[in-house]
Amino acid sequence: MPAAPLCAFTRTQKILVLSPDPELAALFAAAFTPAEAEVVVQTRGKGAIEALFTDPPDMLVVDAKLADIPGLDLVAMIKSENVYRQLPVALIMDESRLSPDIDWCAAEVDELLTRPMTAAMLRSRVTLALARATRSLDANPLTKLPGNTSIIGRIQDLIDRQEDFALAYADLDYFKSFNDKYGFSRGDEVLMMTARIIVNTVRAVGGPRAFVGHVGGDDFVYIMAIDRVEEACASVVASFDNIVPHFYDTEDRDRGFIQSVDREGNRRAFPLMAISIAVVFNRDGRLKHFGEASQTAMTLKKKAKENPKSCYVLDKRHG
Amino acid sequence: MAEDLRTERKGRILAVRDLPTLPKVLEEVSKLVERPDSTTEQVAKLISMDQVLSAKVLKMVNSPVYGFPGRISSIGHALVLLGFNVLRSIIVSTSVFEVMTENMVGLWEHSLGCAMACGSVARMLKLKDAEEYAVAGLLHDLGKVVATVQLPDLKSEIEQTVAERDISYLEAERAVMGFGHDRINAWLADHWKLPANIKEGLSYHHKPHLAQLYPEMACVVHIGDFMARVFEYGFSGDVGVNYLQPEALKILKIRPADFEKLLDELSDQFVELADLRFT
């Protein structure tokens, strides 16, 4: 097995196993390399709870055979705390003990493992549960696009493999004043529209390997091939400028600006929203770390923002 | 008409799942979408010639799933937001008329002619987003298509009533179904969450002076409908020309000189349109 983390995780995954069963511990040892998962096995449930709360793992596996506390009670205790709700929890039990009396609708487990179990099956199910938890936790709740963890993971992965790529950061100018004037739900409409334009354009120009993420708010990211990125940027800018006026009320649209309140509380006129895009390139493995890419992008973004109209700025140094 | 019968028919109308279009149109659009070098503009231009595909595209992009219902009235914008992937699924889910009657082809041509005329009127008047007026013109008789598909048993009765009583198709619809295609248009526009300007054009094109929110849209579609009939392009279900509401000209501030200019311009365009063969 490779000495690398699982999936696109940037670090070793911590898995806490609460089970009196030495066979299960052995299966975990066979299923994962130490670089993939650091597996801690504790045989008692009650003693593990405090450690669990202060230093939560990436995944928790609870054995129904725990002697001191019923497995599902322990799961309920953890899941009732909002900060631990996203922790993926697997319950393991004997297949022969599965009965119609168990209320799975109320059981807040994310994965069920059954004995007899093999190392291969254990590896598959636990890996899937970890990846699924990351996906659903990370996805932007509005647009459902991958969020920060996936974005950083994707960029760092490309950097580590020294692949050439273009990384574009896009955000909206005057989005806040639009939100202030029209309210959050109208603002969400604009974000959904923007996401749709970026996804379609990037997929049409960049092909299936291109990636689009939603950092949050009005910040979006896309990654694609260097030679096609300018075409995609020009197309996103043109589509956005064509469509966004339709999200304003007719009077504001005809006027070409809206009256809203700025950060200091003064009433003033704001132009219609525009999209600014900054593009950073990684050629010949020049970038070493994700932070370099985002820092360069932020500098470029300032330049793009100087223009009140929609525009894109390419990193000249290696563009 | 008994209220429950009307409700039942409205239910059947809104339950419409698939609207068929002409085989040639569908074939052309599918071909274009499969070509890797096709642009959104090319595809939008082609779809803007077909009321059924246009209606489906607008219905899709304005559905709450995408998160901005009632905002998009332009086919070009809709395609940018939906993407070719979704468009392909719309094409796949569209059937063709198995039996092509002359009337179906006639209505298809009438709608296209009306769309073109609406676009010209809007451009002449320098109205913003002329394309949206063309879209409303294209869809103005959608209610007739939906009624034909969902209430097929009443279709021949309507046609018979038109012939026997020498009344307009709209009056015959009201006599037979209890409501006209303008009402069906309003139901569909609400049900599909189409933008308010399109809805008003669709539901008030026979009484444009009563439109409250977008009187200009309703008046333009009214005149476009009239023009398509004047130039005898296609067949709307009526022989001859409908009454041109003078208020429509007044609301749009169209002077007699403008009207003549419009007639000249349209006569050239209808000649060009007649060269197109989609059937």
The yes-or-no verdict on residue B2 having pLDDT over 90 is: no
Residues A257-312 pLDDT 10s = 999 888 888 889 999 999 999 999 999 888 888 888 889 988 898 888 888 899 99
Which residue in chain B has the smallest CA separation from A187?
B68
pLDDT of residue B103: 76
Of A196, A239, A242, the CB nearest to B66: A196
Beta strand A257-261 with A311-314: parallel, antiparallel or unpaired? unpaired
Residue A1 has pLDDT above 60, yes or no: no
CA distance B22 to chain A (A): 28
Which tens digit of pLDDT belongs to each residue from A192-249? Answer: 999 999 999 999 998 878 999 999 999 999 999 999 999 999 999 999 999 999 999 9
Question: Quick one: three-class SS letters along B251-278?
Answer: HHCCCHHHHHHHHHHHHHHHHHHHHCCC
Q: Please give the residue of chain B at the shortest CA–CA distance from A142.
A: B67
Task: Output helix, strand, coil percentages for chain B, rounded to the nearest 5.
Answer: 70, 0, 30
Tell me which residue of A64, A56, A17, A8 sits closest to A36, measured CA to CA. Answer: A8
Predicted local confidence at residue B193, as pLDDT: 95
Instruction: Kindly report the CATH number that applies to the domain delimited by B102-275.
Output: 1.10.3210.10
pLDDT at A55: 82
What is the least distance, in Å, from the CA of A243 to any CA of chain B? 6
- Give me the pLDDT at residue B277, please: 67
A179 φ, ψ (degrees, to nearest 5): -60, -45
**Per the CB < 8 Å rule, is B85 touching A203?**
yes
Of B68, B74, B85, the CB nearest to A193: B68
A13-133, which class in CATH? alpha beta
pLDDT band at B278 (very low <50, low <70, confident <90, very high): low
* Percent of chain B residues topping a pLDDT of 90: 71
pLDDT at A319: 43
On chain B, the residues whose CB falls within 8 A of the CB of A201 are 80
Question: With contacts defined as CB-CB under 8 Å, which chain A residues touch B76?
Answer: 242
Q: Where are the domains of chain A?
A: 13-133, 148-318
Q: Given this model, what pLDDT does residue A106 score?
A: 86
- The mean pLDDT of B222-248, rounded to a whole number, is 91
- The A-side interface with B (CB below 8 A) comprises 142, 188-190, 192-193, 196-197, 199-201, 203-204, 239, 242-243, 246-247, 254
Superfamily of domain A148-318: Reverse transcriptase/Diguanylate cyclase domain (3.30.70.270)
Q: Is B107 exposed, middle or buried (0-12, 13-18, 19+ CB in 10 A)?
A: buried
Rounded Cα distance between A264 and A262, Å, is 5
Ranges in chain B annotated CATH 1.10.3210.10: 102-275
Instruction: Give the model's confidence band at B217: pLDDT under 50 very low, under 70 low, under 90 confident, else very high.
Output: very high
Q: Sign of the CA dihedral B218, B224, B229, B233?
A: negative
Is B100's pLDDT higher than 70? no
Comparing A44-48, B144-148, B270-274, the range with the smallest average pLDDT is A44-48
Considering only A71-85, A126-140, A218-232, B237-251, which range has the smallest mean pLDDT?
Answer: A71-85
Check residue A150 and give its pLDDT.
Answer: 87
pLDDT for residue A164: 93
> Would the pTM count as exceeding 0.90?
no
Shortest distance, CA A98 to any CA of chain B (angstroms): 38
Question: What is the rounded CA–CA span in Å between residue A93 and residue A71?
Answer: 9
pLDDT, tens only, B112-171: 999 999 999 999 999 999 999 999 999 999 999 999 889 988 988 999 999 999 999 999
B42, B61, B63, B68, best to mutate vs chain A, most A CBs in 10 Å: B68
Q: Do B67 and A192 touch (CB under 8 A)?
A: yes
Give the model confidence (pLDDT) of B79-91 as tens digits: 999 998 889 888 8
- In B, which residues are within 8 Å of A239 by CB distance? 77, 80
Two structure tokens written together for A101: 């009396």
Q: Give the residue with greater pLDDT, B105 vs A275.
A: A275
CB pairs below 8 Å between A and B: how many?
Answer: 48
Number of residues assigned to chain B: 279
